[in-house]
Each structure stands twice: as structure tokens, then as C-alpha cells.
Amino acid sequence: MEIQEAQNKVDQWIKKYGVRYFNELTNMILLTEEVGELARIVARKYGEQSYKESDKNKSLEEEMADILFVLICMANQTGVNLTDALIKNLDKKTKRDATRHLKNEKLK
């Protein structure tokens, strides 16, 4: 699925099932909450924390998809074309970091 198609699908879903978008502040809070849930799973799967019973059925895939959904909602309601934004961002990073990481001894 292309990014623009994902933005369209989320918009259709919101209009059909969600009634309307939550306001931008609410979505920002939801995005932060979802990132926290991903962090919790990463801390248990790759870090030193042990799983709690309530964490055992959570997956990285599900938490990442939750983040992507809310991010797409925010893009839609603020008029951001994520395809264009990502292209611009990659261009910026390429110009800025063309040799930076190649010269980083920590990455070798």
C-alpha cells in the first residue's frame, strides 16, 4: 500500500466508523500514548524488564500499526501529505548525512 492510499483509507475509516477526527491535541496525546506502549514492549523484548501478564499478548507489529494510524490521522487533519513530507525528509537527511555515518567509528 502506498502512503497516500493509506491516508485515504484512514480518512474513509474515520468518516465511516469514527464519526470525525479527534482534535489535534487529543491525537497528539494518543500518539504519545501509543509510542509509550511500543516502548514498553521493546523494553521487555529487547531490554532487561520482564513481561507482566498484561504485556504478553502485545506485539511490536500491533503497537507500530497503532502509531502509524494516529500519525496518519494527524497528517490528514492538518493537511500534510506524508509522501511529500517523507521525500523531503530523506532529501534533507541525504544532504546532511551523506558521509556522516560512514565516518562514524562507532558504526563499524
**Per-residue pLDDT tens over the stretch 84-101:** 999 999 999 999 998 999
pLDDT of residue 53: 86
pLDDT of residue 52: 85
37: domain CATH number? 1.10.287.1080
Asked if the structure places residue 15 within a domain, the reply is yes
Structural domain span for residue 31: 3-81
> Using CA atoms, how far apart are residues 86 and 57, in angstroms rounded to an integer?
32
Asked if the structure places residue 7 within a domain, the reply is yes
pLDDT of residue 22: 98
Asked if the structure places residue 60 within a domain, the reply is yes
pLDDT digits (tens, 9 = 90+) for 1-23: 999 999 999 999 999 999 999 99
Rounded to two decimals, what is the model's pTM? 0.90
Specify the amino acid at residue 96: R
Per the structure, the count of domains in the chain is: 1
DSSP state of 80: -
> Using CA atoms, how far apart are residues 42 and 40, in angstroms rounded to an integer?
6
pLDDT digits (tens, 9 = 90+) for 24-57: 999 999 999 999 999 999 999 999 999 888 888 8
Asked if the structure places residue 77 within a domain, the reply is yes
Asked if the structure places residue 61 within a domain, the reply is yes
> Using CA atoms, how far apart are residues 26 and 57, in angstroms rounded to an integer?
26
